[in-house]
């Protein structure tokens, strides 16, 4: 949305200000296309629905970093590289032990992400191949940060990773200390594929801005984590689950939604800055939840979530016609992550694990671009003020 800036004291016309940079094209990218009108998400030329249920998260990482799906040899090489990189540096583990009792969630992840430069002698290098390897290392270490910090917060000992585990399997193993059920691993893999990349969103843009200064990938990753922490961006799946639990049964959905809207409160998991139709990632996660329910035999939360979606879309169309408010990824993210069995306070940190693949892909692209990102601002404050001594000010 562009709005004219407040008039200044001079007579020259004021330019339009794009609040929130809405409508501004700030990058030409090969990585992803988010089509809000059609409800379509494309990753490196593939509609995300073409990948869902067919690829591992590691394959999507390779696709985002290298621009193509890997051969079996390339995938095996990447898996081995990431497996070898999962252990955190000893000083970072020591710091986590000190910090985890006093911090949690995205706060501890922010601190932990900043420590991933420890032991990286070439962290400031802008060489592309070095940074592709760095992207793989950071992606491998993010699950360890989240799992280790959570266990330490609970007064439990760290569970070190196993080399044979996939990223999703390894995260659940490090979090719980037992071999996870394959259905849960499949559900988490589907979730991370769905959230791996989504264009020039706030956290991705933050990472590109930092990388555009010729800073380093660890600094850019830390900045992206900071941006994701905000509830307007990545902090909603937890409240979505709370909302679903408050509704309880499908019969309660209509009254609950109407009461929330009449009270002026936002309906969690609905509406999107870009999508004017149903978020395509919601469909992917709904399908993944269906598969999990068939395996576990428990579809109660899935049935409730679908009823809440149907009711909310109907009530929103009635009370806010023309607003184009539909389910976004967070509605079904809450469903799938709860079904996987991870604590709700880890929903946003797990989002960060999945999105690290897209963040680092954009950082690599920004290194290739080499352009400092430096938008302009229009001054709309007073002018020509005169100095007065401190004892004369009122």
The residues near 196 (Cβ < 8 Å, ≥ 6 apart) are: 43, 57, 60, 61, 64, 354, 355, 357, 358
Q: What mean pLDDT comes out for the span 108-124?
A: 97
Nearest-angstrom CA–CA distance, 97 and 173: 19
Tokens of 345: 């306070």
Which residues participate in catalysis according to the annotation? 272, 330
Asked if 108 and 228 sit in the same domain, the reply is yes
In a domain, 197, yes or no: yes
Residues 161 and 273 in one domain: no
Query: SS3 for 41-108, per residue?
Result: EEECCEEHHHHCCCCCHHHHHHHHHHCCCCCHHHHHHHHHHHHHCCCCCHHHHHHHHHHHHHCCHHHH
Same domain for 88 and 218, yes or no, is yes
pLDDT of residue 160: 96
Question: Where does the pLDDT of residue 55 fall: very low under 50, low under 70, confident under 90, or very high at 90 and above?
Answer: very high
What confidence score (pLDDT) does residue 187 get?
A: 94
Mean of the pLDDT values across residues 105-131? 97
For residues 371 and 48, give the distance between their C-alpha atoms in angstroms, rounded to a whole number.
29
> Do 202 and 265 reside in the same domain of the chain?
no
Q: How far apart are CA 71 and CA 51, in angstroms?
A: 15
The string of pLDDT tens digits covering residues 378-387 is 999 999 999 9
Confidence of residue 5 (pLDDT cuts 50, 70, 90): low
48 and 189, same domain (yes or no): yes
Global pTM reads 0.90
Q: Bridge-partner residues for 123, per DSSP?
A: none
* pLDDT value, residue 172: 98
**Is residue 261 in some structural domain?**
yes
Is 380 among the domain residues?
Answer: no
Is the pLDDT at 270 greater than 90, yes or no? no
Give the model's pLDDT for residue 335: 87
Same domain, residue pair 215 and 250 = no
Domain containing 309 equals: 237-339
Give the H or E element holding residue 35: strand 32-35
On whether both 296 and 189 belong to a single domain, the answer is no
Domain count, the chain: 2
Bigger pLDDT: 362 or 326? 362
Same domain, 122 and 189: yes
**pLDDT of 211 strictly over 90:** yes
30 or 235: which carries more pLDDT confidence?
Answer: 30
Inform me whether the pLDDT recorded for 8 exceeds 60: no
Assess whether pLDDT exceeds 80 at residue 121: yes
**pLDDT digits 0-9 by tens, 56-86:** 999 999 999 999 999 999 999 999 999 999 9
Percent of the chain whose predicted confidence (pLDDT) is above 70? 96
At residue 11, the pLDDT reads 60
Q: What is the pLDDT of residues 16-46, one digit of tens each?
A: 898 889 889 999 999 999 998 898 999 999 9
What's 125's domain CATH number? Answer: 1.10.580.10
The pLDDT score that the predictor gives to residue 237 is: 65
Residue 188 is assigned to a structural domain of this protein: yes
pLDDT at 294: 86
Rounded CA-CA distance 353/35 in Å is: 24
Q: How high is the pLDDT of residue 83?
A: 96
Q: Are 268 and 360 found together in one domain? A: no
Q: Report the range of poorest mean pLDDT among 124-133, 154-163, 167-176, 318-327.
A: 318-327
Give the mean model confidence (pLDDT) for residues 336-349: 92
pLDDT for position 87: 95
> In CATH, what number is assigned to the domain containing residue 328?
1.10.230.10
Least confident of 37-41, 325-329, 349-353, 382-386: 325-329
Residues 113 and 254 in one domain: no
In this predicted structure, the answer to whether residue 375 has a pLDDT above a threshold of 60 is yes
Q: How confident is the model at residue 10 (pLDDT cuts 50, 70, 90)?
A: low
Q: Is residue 136 part of a domain?
A: yes
Q: What does pLDDT average to over the chain?
A: 92
- Same structural domain, 78 and 226: yes
Look at residue 225 and tell me if it is in a domain: yes
Measured in whole angstroms, how far is the alpha carbon of residue 331 from the centre of its chain?
A: 14
In a domain, 22, yes or no: no
pLDDT given for residue 320 in this prediction: 85
Which of 299, 322, 339 lies at the terminal end of a domain, its last residue? 339
Q: Is residue 275 part of a domain?
A: yes
Q: Residue for token digits 């555009």?
A: 212
Residues 98 and 118 in one domain: yes
pLDDT in the model for residue 3: 60
Confidence of residue 12 (pLDDT cuts 50, 70, 90): low
pLDDT band, residue 13 (cuts 50/70/90):
confident
Give the model's pLDDT for residue 390. Answer: 98
């Amino acid at each position: 949305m562009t709005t004219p800036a407040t008039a200044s004291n001079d007579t020259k016309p004021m330019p339009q200000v794009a609040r929130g940079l809405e409508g501004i094209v700030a990058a030409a990218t090969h990585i992803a296309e988010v089509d809000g009108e059609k409800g379509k998400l494309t990753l490196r030329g593939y509609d995300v629905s073409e990948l869902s249920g067919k690829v591992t998260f590691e394959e999507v990482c390779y696709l985002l970093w290298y621009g193509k799906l890997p051969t079996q040899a390339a995938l095996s090489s990447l898996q081995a590289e990431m497996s070898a990189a999962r252990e955190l540096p000893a000083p970072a583990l020591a710091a986590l032990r000190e910090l985890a009792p006093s911090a949690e969630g995205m706060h501890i992840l922010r601190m932990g992400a900043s420590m991933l430069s420890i032991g990286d002698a070439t962290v400031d290098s802008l060489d592309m191949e070095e940074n592709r390897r760095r992207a793989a290392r950071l992606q491998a270490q993010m699950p360890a940060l989240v799992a280790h910090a959570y266990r330490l917060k609970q007064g439990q000992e760290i569970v070190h990773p196993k080399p044979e585990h996939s990223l999703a399997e390894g995260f659940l193993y490090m979090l719980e200390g037992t071999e996870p059920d394959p259905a849960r691993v499949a559900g988490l893999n589907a979730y991370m594929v769905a959230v791996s990349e989504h264009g020039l969103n706030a956290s991705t843009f933050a990472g590109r801005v930092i990388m555009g200064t010729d800073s380093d990938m660890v600094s850019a990753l830390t900045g992206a984590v900071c941006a994701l922490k905000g509830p307007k961006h990545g902090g909603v799946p937890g409240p979505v689950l709370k909302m679903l639990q408050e509704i309880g049964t499908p019969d309660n959905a209509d009254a609950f939604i109407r009461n929330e809207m009449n009270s002026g409160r936002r309906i969690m998991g609905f509406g999107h800055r870009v999508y004017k139709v149903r978020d395509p990632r919601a469909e992917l996660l709904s399908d993944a939840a269906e598969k999990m329910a068939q395996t576990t035999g428990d579809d109660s939360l899935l049935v409730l979530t679908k009823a809440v979606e149907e009711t909310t879309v109907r009530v929103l169309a009635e009370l806010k016609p023309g607003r184009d408010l539909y389910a976004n990824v967070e509605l079904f993210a809450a469903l799938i992550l709860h079904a996987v069995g991870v604590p709700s306070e880890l929903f946003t940190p797990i989002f960060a694990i999945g999105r690290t693949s897209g963040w680092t892909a954009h950082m690599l692209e920004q290194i290739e671009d080499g352009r400092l990102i430096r938008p302009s601002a229009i001054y709309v404050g007073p002018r020509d003020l005169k100095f007065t001594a401190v004892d004369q000010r009122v």
